[in-house]
Amino acid sequence: MKVSGKTGGVSATPGVAAAKPAGAAQPTGASSGAPRVQGDALSVSSSAQFIAVATEKLASIPDVRIEKVEAIKAMMDSDAYNPDSEAVADGLVREHTAPRTGNDLG
């Protein structure tokens, strides 16, 4: 089998035109202005945009509220922290008997 650089021979693919040199004329009907840039396009839905903004905002919020921790620590150091033991127990029971979701880490 002989392979040549000529189009229409054994090496040519039917229906596929050979690459044009950089200075080649544009086909009829094409605009004569600046060349059209063909490339990838990205379209993001408004829901995805909202999620991206919300995620960014949430990332800026600290996981621990330092002011609260400092205030409770100061109250504990001065023996002024007296939480309602029944409310704490109720909260623990509710937390551990609530139905679990797929987002729970525990």
Instruction: Kindly state the tokens that stand for 37.
Output: 């840039």
pLDDT at 30 over 60: no
pLDDT at 73 over 90: yes
Which residue carries 């621990």 as its tokens? 64
Instruction: Kindly state the tokens that stand for 12.
Output: 């040519």
Q: What confidence score (pLDDT) does residue 90 get?
A: 95
- Domain parsing of the chain, residue ranges: 46-96
pLDDT at 24 over 60: no
Instruction: Kindly state the tokens that stand for 104.
Output: 């729970």
Q: What confidence score (pLDDT) does residue 9 get?
A: 47
Mean pLDDT of 92-106: 76
Average pLDDT over the chain reads 75
What SS3 string covers 40-51? CCCCCCHHHHHH
- Enumerate residues 6+ apart whose C-beta is below 8 A from 32: 26
Q: What confidence score (pLDDT) does residue 86 get?
A: 96
